[in-house]
Every structure is written in structure tokens, then in C-alpha cells.
A and B are shown apart, each in its own frame.
Chain A
Amino acid sequence: LWYLFSPSVDKAWKELTNILSGIFCASLNFIDSTNTVTPTASFKPLGLANGTDHRLLRYTVLPREVVCTENLTPWKKLLPCGSKAGLAVLLKAERLFHSSYHSQAVHIRPICRDASCLAVSWELRQTLTVVFDSFCSSQGKKDWSLFKMFSRTLTDACPLASESKVYVDISPKNKEKELLEVTPAPTSVHEAVVQGDKRTYAVYDLLSPSLFNTSRSLNVQLKWKRPQDSSELPTPVLHAQRYVSGYGLQTGQICTLIYNTHPYRAFPVMLLETVPWYLRLYVHTLTITTKGKENKPSYIHYEPAQDRRRPHLLEMLIQLPASSVTKITIQFERALLKWTEYTPDPNHGFYVGSSVLSALLPSVIAMKDVDVEQSPLFTSLFPSSDGSSYFVRLYTEPLLVNLPTPDFSMPYNVICLTCTVVAVCYGSFYNLLTRTFQGGGGLAKRLANIIRRFRGVPPL
């Protein structure tokens, strides 16, 4: 969750997180100062902005929260027709969560109301990303259809929508045409340069009257003409991986691998890492190596964590040479927490939120400056300020780290035993300080004589 504020930031942040927690039925109320950071360079305001101070920006990640049905329902309620009409009828929970990857997002930004830009409106953009693994479910064939994926079809457009379109990517690979076939026939074909690639889309306009002429429902189907040989997916220009290495519960190492697969262009990438306070990072162990040599970042901003108050923040601008793998490692020590600070399942581990990589990637094909009015979808999903590069924000995997745990059944025992040890010292010293030696006999002498008789030694 990231947001830019006007002054009195922290109070507004707390109110916002609580309100959003209520709206989306997500536990966003767990956002507090222990997991909020103020990045300096990774996030720039979208839409209209007057050069905001980066100190007013807040960023949080809650890696332990999972997205589920009760988050989808309020998300759908924000749509003008809900899930009753339009494209959203496809979004039924039992099919959406039967997938390999699921992600939903809500973006709000200020934009010009019209071309003269005299007034500012707020734009709400909702995105839902789902990856269906139809390859496994359909016996090895890569054909799919809307009915197979969502178990329902589109019947009409939302009456409140000014535009309602379905885009199907039918880009030919290796300039071979007629490799695949979409049914029914699309209303139009749209070509765009998306993330450096020329892509062709079949467009189904639900508002055009010709679409529902032949049948009441629209079921988009895609069939491959030839059986697919193992065709590789093109690797993206920038991708990253993150993992924890090391053994034992005392120390560890966070390693991030960033791949630049572009054959000849180098570009810089901004890495933002937020690590919770109970993994104490040692910034003098930070090493960045590319192709075996040290790679010094051109910008580093590091804010160390304070126990129980704020997390670590590490932001770096790293230059990635062409066709290379960059490895960033930093060592940490695991802290022992107070027994009340552990979750009810402490041996599950503690999550470290994903790190964020922001980069302007060079584009192989020159991109035309497209008008916002003409294709609002593509300008907001794939923005590009100039024709030669496009912006990409990547999130790495979250990490799961085990911390050493005390024995949770022992608070009373520990207090008693430790206080006993302190009392042993106090007692011995009290005796030695307040009592004096005296020639005594009495009980001690009699006991000593009994023991001496057993030993066969003459008595005292």
C-alpha cells in the first residue's frame, strides 16, 4: 500500500489504513510504524502532481496477509455494475481462486477532467490478474475458452459503461500467421507496442450491436491449428529472484539475483528493500557483484531499523550491464523477541515483504505516442513517457525466515529460577555482611561429630 499525503501524514495514514481495512475486509489495520517506510526514490506520484516531497510518501507491505474471497467481494462492489452485468459476471470466486496466481489492485490518481485541464478528477483503476493453468486441465492442449476458464460466458455489457471491450492477444510468433484461430470473429483488430514488443489484439466490443446478433452469449475460444512443440516463452528483459541463505537460527543472508537479458543495452534499476526490525541487517556486509566483479551502486539510501519502531529501508540504484546477472547479498542476525511478540504459530516463521524493482526498460521497437482518449487501457497499463523506454515495476518473492523461540510454557518458571539465583547471591552476601564469627558449638558441632563417627574419625 503506498500513498502520498498532504501534511499531518502519520495521522492521515493511520486513518486511511483503517478505513481501507474496513472497505476491503483485509487486515490492513495491522499497518503501523513497525512496517511502514518512507522511500525516497522508488515511487513517484502518478497523474498530476506538483513535485511532492518524498517525506510525505508512505509504503507498507503486509506479507502475511493472503488475498481471498472476502477481499474479492468488496472489490467487485466498487465496480459500477458490480458482478451483475458486463465483464465482471465472469469473476466468480470458485473459478478465480482455482488458479496459479491471483492478484487484485486498486489505483487512485488525480487526472485532468478534460483537455483544457481546468479541473482535476480522481481516477479509480481496478486491476485483477489471474493466471490459469489450463495446460494441465485440458489434457496437454493449449486451447482455452471463456466457458472453460470461468464456467460462464458474457451476456451483455454493463449499461453504465462507456466502453466494454475484451482484448485477446493473437500476436504471431516468428512471423507465422494462421497458427491460431479465435472464435467468434472479433469486431476489430488492434495493434500496439507493449513493453517493447509489437503485439496484435483481437478486440471484442461488447457495446457494438453486431456482437450478440448470432447468439445471446459470447464465449471467446482460442484453438491452436498445429500441435505445439516445446516453444519457449520469451524471457522478460528484467526479472529477479530473492532467497534466504545460511543455516541455523542465528545469522542468515538475503540474496537477490537480478537478471538483465537484453543482448546489448544496459540500464539502471532502483531496488527498494524493506526488512522487519527483528532481522538486524549489517550494511557493511552488503555486496553487489556482476559477472564476478564488484558493482558499486550510484545511489544508496539506508535507514537502519529501530527495535519495535520501524523497519530497515534500503534503496539502491544499480546499473545492470547487458546480458548479466547481478547478485546482491546482505547478512543479518536474528533477534530473540519477547514471548508476547510471537504469532500463535511461531515455528511457521516470519515473513519478509517483497522487494520492489523499478526500472525504465529500453524498448526494441519505437513506441508511438498514443493518445489517452484513443486507448485509455494501454496508456494506463503500459505507460511510456518517451517512445524509447517503458516503465516496469517488479516485486520479488516474499521470504519466510525462522526466528529462535523461547519456551512459551515457562514464564513463571523462568521468573522463579532467575530470582532464585539472584536470591542466592543476596542471601550469601547478607549472611557474610551482617553476621560475625563466633566460637560456637551447639548444633553444628553435634552434627559434625555424628558424621565423624560414621567416618571413623575421632570427634571434635
Chain B
Amino acid sequence: VVEGLALLDLGVSPYSGAVFHETPLTIYLFHFLVEYAELVFVITDVLTAVALYLAIQDFNKVVFKKQKLLIELDKYAPDVAELIRTPMEMHYIPLKVALFYLLNPYTVMSCVAKSTCAINNTVIAFFILATIKGSAFLSAVFLALATYQSLYPLTLFAPALLYLLQRQFIPVKLKSKNFWLYTMQYASLYLCSLVVIICLSFFLLNSWDFIPSVYGFILSVPDLTPNIGLFWYFFAEMFEHFSLFFVCVFQINVFFYTIPLAIKLKEHPMFFMFVQIAIISIFKSYPTVGDVALYMAFLPVWSHLYRFLRNIFILSCVLIVCSFLFPVLWHLWIYAGSANSNFYYAITLTFNVGQILLISDYFYAFLRREYYLTHGLHLTRQDGTEAMLVLK
């Protein structure tokens, strides 16, 4: 961003080079705030934590209300008393979420490094707050801002829509007129805000240069600087002939989990939101640890799933060890010269496998708890013997 401002001062478009890939609104914002950059990033982190706190507080109320309704409607099996959540246990969850975000070493590292990922996290946190509060307009505006900055929050449209539909008590049926009416309303709010923001950016710098530099850059992955993701080494070692094919495959990989997850998790849009944010953080083209910090902040919300998690110990060990090994092996490759790129690449692979297995473990635990809630904790087969639960 500092380089972009310096290029503007020299009279050259910041997008004429290959170093600056932020949006024009970011340049406009930092034009005034570059002197106080550290303070800005501290304030964005605090704002994110506050937004998450308020959002989860409201969400807990919604969860408890829904649980009460389902108990009254007798949807739960009789012997699941120990799985029912009480307000007492849910009391400290918002505080835990805020602390998980603020005290996460990844968040601290992002703040110290002054990474613009923190601003992206703030916008997504405000989007979640607006969605949970039920304001479709604000939710659409913040989602448009998040999409404008980095393309991938586009996939968060589906969970937000499902949550708002649930809040308005509109059932998700493809034939229902109400459903389509509301969807069209929300989609048009979102698209209009996006168009307004993009036109505003055009008028800020008087050119459309930012579109290939920001979105073309995210989609075509020309810069192979090592990061914690999977893309850089893959495209560094790719045969030129297949480069375009694999770029398309990797980009589709981020977007195509949305529809199946929407079908499976349409009753639980908040968990869908969590899984979607995690998938974006793992598979986006230029991930950073700030993205990881955002979805990890939500883990206390699902702390009641702890008894159903299968591999949580080994996964936390993998993630912690990889976090320590990242800087060590980077130093060995780049500065000491005694290791080569394969060492750092291996840790990248392990870290991403750890993240993927963490998310799928939480997904498994969530689905299992839902099954137990409706079918009871002690499962018996027809002949009365105890049965094991298997995913078939």
C-alpha cells in the first residue's frame, strides 16, 4: 500500500506495475491514515472482536430459542438431556470468541505485520453481525465490500441468504414464491452495492486499471511468492501447457462446495458460514494466517461438539507444530541456504491437511450430534443390542 501511495505521488498509476494489488478504496483510506498505520490495525482488530462478540451473543439467543421450540414440538428423542445446551454454559461463549480472535498468535502476527487481511476480517465480521441482527441491507453492503476487496466472500452469499430466510420464517422450497422474492431482493441489494462500489473506485482513480490488477491477479495467480497456501509451489512446478487448466480447477475448487453444503446444512446456516469461511481461508489463491485466525475465532461457538470430535488432539498438535516449523524452514531455505524449497513446501502441505481435517472433524461432530438429537443417544438395533454409528 505504501508503494502504491509512492507511485501515485510520482504521477504513475499504482496499477501499472506488478507490486500493488489492493483496491482503490484501500488507497483512498490509507491516503489519510498512513501516518497512524499501527493504530489503524489495532483498531480494526478490536472492531472485529467487538463485532464477533455482539454477533455471537445474538446468535446464542437465536440458538436457545430454536432449541426451546424444537423441544416443545417434541422433535428430540427422549434420552438426549445431556446434549441439550443450557444458557449457563452458553454465557461465556461470546467472550471466548472475542478472546480467541484477539489473543490468537495469528491475529497478533497479522496486526504486527500490518497486513490488509485484518481489514478484510473486520468487514466479514461486520457482515456476520449484520446478518445475525437480520438487517438484509447492511448485510448486503458489507458482503459487497468484502467481495470487492478479495473475490472469495462471494460464496458467503448462500449462508447469509439461508440465515435471513430462516429469520423471516420463509421455508426454503424451490416452488415457494416468497423464497424467490426474498432471494431476488437480497441478490439485487448485494449486486447494486457491488456495482456502486466498483463505479466509485473507477471515479477515484479515473481508470478501470484496478480490475485486472486486483481481480485478474486473484484469479490468474501470476505471482508465485511463497505463502502458507498450496498454489505457489504447484504453479512454480507446473508444465506451461497445463497452467491454465489447473488455475481453473483450483479456482473452481473454492467455489463449488457452496451448493452441496447449502443443501446439506440449510437448517444450520451459521455452521455453513463457518465451514465456508474455513474453505475460503484454506483454498484461496493467496492465503495468510489472518484468514486462519478468523475462522478459528468461531471454534468456541461449537465447543459443545467436543465429545464427538475424533482427532482433535492430533490435529491441534499438527497445527501447532507446523506453525512453529514455518519460520524455521523458511529461514533454512532463504537465509541459511541449507534446506531447499521442498522443506517449506512439506510444511505447507501438512498445515493445509491439518486445517482440512480440523474442519471435516467439526463437520462430522456437528452431523453426529444432530443425528443423536433426533434419534437418541443410546442406539439399539431391532433385536435390542447396542449399535454403532457409522457413516454409510
Contacts and interface: CB of A to CB of B under 8 A. Distances in A.
Interface of A: 247-250, 277, 280, 282-284, 300, 302-308, 333, 335-340, 404-407, 410-411, 414-415, 417-418, 421-422, 424-426, 428-429, 431-433, 435-442, 444-445, 448, 460
B356 A433 contact: no
Given A410-B237, A437-B389, A460-B388, A335 B335 contact: no
Given A336-B236, A439-B388, A407 B342 contact: yes
Contact of B3 (A283, A306, A337): A283
Given A280-B18, A335-B225, A437-B391, A415 B3 contact: no
Interface string B219-250: 00011111000101111111110000000001
Interface in B347-381: 349, 352-353, 356-357, 360, 363-364, 367-368, 371, 379-381
Contacts, number: 172
Given A406-B236, A424-B353, A444-B388, A433 B264 contact: yes
Interface residues of B, number: 66
A445 B224 contact: no
A335 B237 contact: no
B257 interface: yes
Contact of A414 (B233, B260, B364): B233
Contact of A338 (B5, B236, B342): B236
A175 B307 CA distance: 99
A421 B17 contact: no
A432 B364 contact: yes
Contact of B367 (A249, A280, A437): A437
B356 A424 contact: yes
Interface stretch (B6-14, B174-182, B194-202): B6-14
Contacts of B253: 422, 426
Interface in B83-123: none
Contacts of A250: 334-335
Contacts of A302: 7, 10, 12
Given A338-B235, A436-B392, A418 B349 contact: yes
Interface of B: 2-3, 5-7, 10, 12, 16-19, 222-226, 230, 232-240, 250, 253, 257, 260-261, 263-264, 279, 282-283, 333-335, 337, 340-342, 345, 349, 352-353, 356-357, 360, 363-364, 367-368, 371, 379-381, 385-392
A249 B334 CA distance: 5
A425 B356 contact: yes
A433 B389 contact: no
Given A304-B18, A338-B224, A407 B340 contact: yes
A51 B383 CA distance: 101
B233 A406 contact: yes
A205 B261 CA distance: 92
Contact of A410 (B232, B342, B349): B342
A441 B387 contact: yes
- Chain A residues touching B, majority SS: mixed
A425 B282 contact: yes
Nearest to A309: B18
B6 A429 contact: no
Contacts of A421: 230, 349, 352-353, 356
Nearest to B363: A432
Nearest to B341: A406
A406 B345 CA distance: 10
B335 A418 contact: no
B238 A411 contact: yes
Contact of B234 (A337, A414, A435, A437): A414
Given A406-B236, A425-B360, A417 B349 contact: yes
A436 B391 contact: yes
B224 A336 contact: yes
Contact of B390 (A339, A428, A440): A440
Contacts of A417: 349
B389 A439 contact: yes
B1 to A, nearest CB: 10
Q: A-B pairs with the 5 shortest C-beta distances?
A: A304-B17, A284-B6, A439-B387, A440-B390, A428-B360
Contacts of A424: 353, 356-357
26 contacts: A248-B334, A249-B337, A282-B19, A284-B2, A302-B7, A303-B12, A308-B222, A339-B236, A404-B333, A405-B340, A406-B236, A406-B237, A411-B238, A418-B349, A421-B352, A421-B356, A422-B253, A425-B282, A429-B363, A432-B364, A433-B260, A433-B263, A436-B391, A437-B389, A438-B389, A439-B379
A314 to B, nearest CB: 10
A433 B333 contact: no
A335 B337 CA distance: 16
A346 B118 CA distance: 37
A428 B367 CA distance: 13
Contacts of B235: 338
B70 to A, nearest CB: 18
B17 A435 contact: no
A282 B238 contact: no
Contacts of B349: 417-418, 421
Given A304-B7, A439-B379, 6 more contacts: A300-B10, A307-B18, A338-B224, A411-B238, A432-B391, A436-B392
Contacts of B341: 404-407
Nearest to A422: B253
Contact of A435 (B239, B380, B392): B392
B20 to A, nearest CB: 8
A421 B333 CA distance: 23
A229 to B, nearest CB: 47
A324 B234 CA distance: 50
Contacts of B381: 439, 441
A460 B388 CA distance: 9
B237 A440 contact: no
Nearest to B246: A415
A338 B238 contact: yes
Greatest chain A CB density within 10 A among B236, B238, B264, B345 is at B236
B23 to A, nearest CB: 18
A411 B367 contact: no
A300 B7 CA distance: 11
Contact of A440 (B333, B345, B367, B392): B392
B334 A411 contact: no
A282 B360 CA distance: 42
A403 B353 CA distance: 29
A282 B7 CA distance: 9
Nearest to B385: A441
A429 B388 CA distance: 21
Contacts of B16: 303-304, 306
Nearest to B10: A302
A42 B186 CA distance: 58
Contact of A445 (B238, B360, B388): B388
Contacts of B363: 428-429, 432
Contacts of B238: 338, 411, 415
Contacts of B379: 439
B236 A277 contact: no
Given A425-B360, A431-B391, A448-B388, A335 B17 contact: no
